[in-house]
Structure 1
Amino acid sequence: MNDQHNGGSLTKEQMEFYNREGYLLIDRLLTEEDMAPAKEAMNSKVSIIANDLLNAGLINDLLEDRPFQYRLAELFQDLTPDDFLKYGRGWRDRLPGYFHLMSNPKILDAVQSLIGSEIYANPVYNTRPKIPRVAAGAVPWHQDKSYWPDANSNPVITVWIPLVDANEENGCLHIKPRTHRKRLLEWHAEQYSGTGYTALREDQLGSTETVILPAAAGSAILFNDRCLHMSTLNQSDGVRWSVDLRYQPTDQDPMPNYGTGFLARSAVRPERVATLEDWLADREEHEAENRSVI
C-alpha cells in the first residue's frame, strides 16, 4: 500500500474512512497460517469442555473428528443454554495462540497507522464462540466503552476478527457509522440472555442507518470504542468463531482491573516489548520482573 502513516499499513483513504465513519473493514487481513495458533487454542478449550461434558454424563461422544466450525455446536446441540453459559459468553484464556494473534504484525501495522508506534495490547480480549440458536449469542446494541466508563482510554481500538466466514445467517457484526462521536450513553444490563451484556434502549440509537458487515474469515473490522455495534443470533448449524482484540496508545490507562495487558510494539523502547514468556507470567513488558509492577 502507499500513503502509509506512522510506518503503518493503512492507506490515507483507509485512515480517512476510519476517522470519519468510526470503523474500517480490512478484507482477509490474515491467512489461515496466521489464524492457526488461535484456532489451536480454541480447539484445546473445546476438548477440555468436551471431556467435562463427557465426565458429567451430558454427552457420550467427544466428537473429536468433527471440523472446527461444527464440533462445539454439535457438543451442545441437545443441551441447554445454561449448560453452555457455564463456560462463559466469551473466553479469555491465557494460551500461547492468543498472544501470537495479538502480536501479529499485520494487525499491529494497521493499528499503528491510527495511533502510532507505541502500542499497548489491552487486557480485554475475548474469544467468541457463538453457537447456534442460543440467546447469549445475540449481543445487543452497545458501546465497548460502557465496560470501562471511567478509564482515560480513548482511543481504544477494537479489532474484531472472524475465524470462519461471518454473515447474516450466523450473526455478523452490525455497526452504526459515525456514532463514535457520541458521548458514552447511559446503558443498562440486558436481562433476556443470562449474560448481563451492557445494552442501549431503542430510543438511544438515533436515526443513523445500520451497516451490516459480513466478513470473510481472517478479515478485520477495526472500530472506535464509542461506536455503536451489535450482532444477531446464529441461525446456522456451525459456530461463528470470532475474537475481539483491543489496542491503545501506551500513555493511556492500562485497565489493570481487567487483567494484565502487554507492550505489543514500541519504537521508543523496543527492548521492552513483551515476549510470550512475559505474557504467560502476567508481565506487561519484557524484563518487567526486575522492576516494581502493579
Structure 2
Amino acid sequence: METITNPHQAHALFVLPETDKPIKESTIKLTQEQIDFFKTNGFLSIDNFIDDNEVSNIRNQYDQWFAAKLGREHGNFFDLLSEDTDDKEAVAPQLLWPSIYGKQMTGFDLYSTQMYANAYAISKALLGEDTIFKGDHAILKPSTSNSLPTPWHQDEAYWNPTLTYESLGVWVALQPVSIENGCMQFIPGSHRMYDVLPHHTQNNNPRIHGLEVDNPNELTKNIMSCPLPSGGATFHHCRTLHHTGPNCSNEPRRAYTLQFECNTKTREQPRLNTWNETKITEREKRAKESGWTLRAP
C-alpha cells in the first residue's frame, strides 16, 4: 500500500492500493453468447452476480456512508439532480470513491469482495486483457414524493473531451430493482450508432451536475429495461444511452457502481464539451477549495 503525501491534495491522508488486482477468484465466466450480446447492444444483465450475504454486508456499510455524508467537504458527496445546497434534502445523493471513504470509516475493503472480483473478470472479458479499474461510485434514490428520473445520457459525456474511451460501468443492485423503483434502462446498440452526443445540464441549469442528452425523445424509441434481483448487475458501455426512472416505491433504491476502461486514446480533435465547461456547481467548488484532484469515476 502507498500513502499519498502531497500536502496540497485533499486525498493526501488516504491510502490507495498498489494494484487493482482482486483478492478473490471470480465465480462467473461469461459465455460467448453473452459477450456477443454486449458488443452488439452495449449492455449486459446478470441476475446472480453476488450472493445475499455480500449484498447485506455492503448495504449495511453503504447506509452508514450516506448517513454520514462521507466526502461532502471534498465534493465527493453531492446531489446529482439539484443545486446541491445544504438547506435542501437531496433528491439523488451520490458518493464518489466509496472504496476510499468506506475503508476509513467502516473498514470496507472493495478489493476483497466477490463483487469486485466478478466485475474485474467480466470487464476484462468484455473489453480486453488490458482493462484496468478506474473508480467506484454509490448512488442512492430515496423513496420520496419528489423522486426524479436520472436523465438519458452517455457516461462519456462527463469525461475528458480530448480522449475517446473504451469503458464500461458495472451497476450492482443492493435490493431488487424494477421499473417502479428505478432499474437501469438502455437503448440497444446506441454505443455503436453514436459518438458522444450533445448534452445539457438538468433543466439547462449550470448549477446542477447531472447531464441529459439533447432531444432525448428522438433517441429513445427502442428502450430495454433491466429489472434485477438483489445482487444482480448490469454492465454498460460508456457511450450506451441509459437512464433510470424515479423511485416510486416505499424503500430506498441503492446501487453500487464500478468503472473499468481499456485502451483510452487521444482524439484527433477534442469533441464538444460546452455542457461541462459552463458548470458552476457547489460540488466543483468544494473539490477546488479542498484540493481534491482524483478524477471522478
State the alpha-carbon separation in 1 of the partners of residues 50 and 153 from structure 2: 27
Do the aligned residues in 1 keep the contact of 2:169 with 2:235 (CA within 8 Å)? Answer: yes
Q: Which amino acid aligns with 1:227?
A: T
User: Greater Rg, structure 1 or structure 2?
Assistant: 1
Residue number among 83, 103, 125 corresponding to 1:113 in the alignment: 125
- Paired residue for 1:15? 35
| Residue 176 of structure 2 is aligned to residue 165 of structure 1 | yes
State how far apart, in whole Å, the 2-side matches of 1:15 and 1:36 are.
Answer: 29
In structure 2, the partner of 1:264 is: none
Identity %: 20
Q: Give the counterpart of 2:233 among 220, 228, 242.
A: 220
Trace 1:38-53 onto structure 2 (pairs within 5 A).
38-48=58-68
Report the secondary structure of 1:84's partner residue.
Answer: coil
Q: TM-score w.r.t. structure 2 length?
A: 0.65
Tell me the amino acid that sits aligned with residue 197 of structure 2.
Answer: L
Structure holding more strand per residue: 2
Aligned partner of 1:259 in structure 2 is 295
Backbone CA RMSD of aligned residues: 3.1
Q: Where does the alignment leave 5 or more consecutive residues of structure 2 unmatched?
A: 1-27, 70-84, 266-291
1:29 aligns with 49
Task: State the alpha-carbon separation in 2 of the partners of residues 217 and 205 from structure 1.
Answer: 33
1:174 to 179, 185, 193: 185
Q: How does 1:1-294 map to 2 (within 5 A)?
A: 9-48=29-68, 83-85=88-90, 89-92=93-96, 93=98, 94=100, 95-96=102-103, 97=108, 99-100=110-111, 101=113, 104-123=116-135, 125-133=136-144, 135=146, 137-150=148-161, 152-181=163-192, 182-191=194-203, 195-202=208-215, 205-206=218-219, 208-249=221-262, 251-252=263-264, 257-259=293-295
Instruction: Give the C-alpha shift of residue 243 in structure 1.
Output: 1.5
CA contact (8 A) 2:55 2:230 kept: no
Q: Which has the higher mean CA deviation after the structures are superposed, 98-107 or 220-229?
A: 98-107
Structure 1 residues 109 and 46: alpha-carbon distance in aligned structure 2, compared to 1, 3 A threshold: same
Amino acid at match of 1:17: F
Encode CA deviations 1:116-155: one digit per residue, 9 max, x unaligned.
33332113x2211101236564200100000004253521
Q: Is the 8 A contact 1:149 1:184 kept in 2?
A: no
Q: Distance in 2 between matches of 1:161 and 1:11?
A: 20
Structure 1 gaps of 5+ residues are 1-7, 50-79, 262-294
TM-score of the two chains, using structure 1 as the length reference: 0.65
Deviations 1:72-108 (A, max 9, x none): xxxxxxxx9953329x721123213362458722221
Q: Secondary structure in 2 aligned to 1:244?
A: strand
The code of the aligned residue for 1:235 comes to C
Runs of 4+ in 1 over 6 A off after TM superposition: none
Distance 1:169 1:90 in 2: 20
CA contact (8 A) 1:171 1:234 kept: yes
